[in-house]
Amino acid sequence: MTKTIAFLTLWRDNEKILDRSLSQLETMEDELIPKGYRFTYAFLENDSKDETAMRLYKWLRERRGFLISEQIDAPKWGSVALTERTRWLARYRNVCLAALDFWKYDYLVVADSDVHFKPDLLTKMVDHLDQNPDWGMITPNTVQNVADHVGETDLPSYFDSWTLIDKQQMQGMTFAANPFLSSHDREDWEKGHPISVYSAFGSIAMIRGEIPQEYEVHWSAEVGCEHTGLCEDITKIGYEIIVDPKLHAEIIHEEPVIPDPAVVKMHQDRLKLAEASTLFE
């Protein structure tokens, strides 16, 4: 039985990483199309000064999907937690999602252009969603090439701590291999058990296809990160958001990331406080 995955990605001035990013998608196709998968690409590019738009257009000519290319003089942001930035990102993703109304698919993958993943990540995500009908969206343990400063280990730290919010609405810890605060979630993480959360993304996530095709779900920056707004919409219709520590993706920073000691200490203090609170439960 053929399973169709829609693949939604945003691009801007990505020529430097485009060869690697597209090669990764080609490897995905080579491994998964013979296994009965097919792909629809939903790309949006805006305001690129390099050849990103033309190269994406050429790459898509032999594939199912579309490229929306906009010249709107939008601000260009780094990876910063600013509401104005997330409003733009929410808009881009919602425009792309609306265009997917004309396509049928079984699963929607939302991925950052710079995330590293292997094809079996997608098949494992599909299997999890197929086996767990209450799971609406699943995300991996996406790590970065920055050590676990909070836990003071050599393990790589979890990447997307801004979006990671647990069921008690406690935000995840930055620069931590185990990003959770609650003792129960921390234990499940160490044991490799999937964890139901309020919000997560991790630079790549898979959503059950019927959710965006049958319900009104959107990215929104009104609650912080735009992915948190999407997660809220998904949970409101009765589905769970899952982070699985056994699923893996990676962000590789080109320049060294030096954590601010004050930020590390803040999270260490948060963890100590959370651990102390369990003594009174």
pTM recorded for the entire structure: 0.94
Task: For residue 105, give both structure tokens.
Answer: 């698919």
Mean pLDDT, rounded, for 80-104: 86
Amino acid at 130: D
Each residue's pLDDT tens digit, 64-90: 999 999 887 777 766 555 667 788 889
Query: What is the residue-averaged pLDDT of the chain?
Result: 94
CA distances from 208 to 56, 222, 239, 240, 243 (A): 26, 24, 10, 11, 14
Task: Work out the average pLDDT over 127-142.
Answer: 98
Q: What is the mean pLDDT of residues 175-194?
A: 97
Give backbone dihedrals phi and psi of 30, rounded to 5 degrees, phi first: -60, -35
Q: What are phi and psi of 135, to 5 degrees?
A: -85, 120
- Identity of the amino acid at 54: M
- Per-residue model confidence (pLDDT) at position 279: 62
CB hemisphere CA count around 223 (13 angstroms): 18
Q: Could you write out the DSSP letters of every residue in 33-63?
A: GGGTEEEEEEEEEES-SSSHHHHHHHHHTTS
Q: Cβ contacts of residue 174 below 8 Å, gap of 6+?
A: 150, 157, 161, 162, 259, 263, 267
Rounded Cα gap, residues 77 and 69, in angstroms: 18
Buried b (16+ CB within 10 A) or exposed e, 76-85: eeeeeeeeeb
At which residue do the structure tokens 């676990």 appear? 148
Determine what percent of the chain is predicted with pLDDT higher than 70.
96
Position 224 scores a pLDDT of 80
Angle at 253 between CA 250 and CA 254, to 5 degrees: 135
